[in-house]
């Protein structure tokens, strides 16, 4: 698993309904954010990349997606400096792939279709 639900569990006091609600919200919202993120990367729009990267950052942290979180921080840094578009493109692809795999795993774990 490339995610860890310990943070959600801690803030929810183990409330399974709350944990599931957070997971469902993530599964419903993040795919649209990834589409926007991809468009901004393709357009080489540093400001747009920064905005979307910043928007998804707390979700990655909350769901314990450490690798994606750290890569996203690097994207944020590059976008803020308006540099390394090739690295942003490659790193975004890794983050996107990882998040999509995590979404599929979360759907299975929580029996969501």
Supply the mean pLDDT for the chain.
97
d(Cα 110, Cα 19) in Å, to the nearest integer? Answer: 10
- Written as six digits, the tokens of 47 are 């400001």
Residues 110 and 20 sit within 8 Å (Cβ to Cβ): yes
> 3-class DSSP state for residue 44?
coil
Residues 60 and 68 sit within 8 Å (Cβ to Cβ): yes
Choose the weakest-confidence range: 1-5, 41-45, 91-95: 1-5
Q: How confident is the model at residue 1 (pLDDT cuts 50, 70, 90)?
A: low
d(Cα 13, Cα 52) in Å, to the nearest integer? Answer: 30
Q: Tell me: the pLDDT tens digits for 88-100?
A: 999 999 999 999 9
Domains of the chain (ranges; CATH) run 6-109 (1.20.120)
């Amino acid at each position: 698993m490339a995610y860890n639900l310990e943070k959600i569990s801690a803030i929810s006091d183990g409330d399974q309904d709350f944990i599931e609600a957070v997971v469902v919200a993530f599964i419903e919202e993040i795919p649209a954010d990834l589409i926007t993120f991809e468009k901004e990367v393709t357009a080489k729009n540093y400001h747009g990349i920064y905005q979307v990267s910043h928007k998804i950052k707390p979700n990655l942290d909350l769901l314990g997606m450490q690798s994606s979180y750290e890569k996203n921080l690097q994207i944020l840094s590059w976008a803020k400096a308006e540099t390394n578009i090739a690295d942003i493109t490659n790193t975004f692809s890794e983050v996107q792939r990882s998040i999509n795999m995590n979404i599929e795993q979360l759907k299975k774990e929580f029996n969501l279709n």
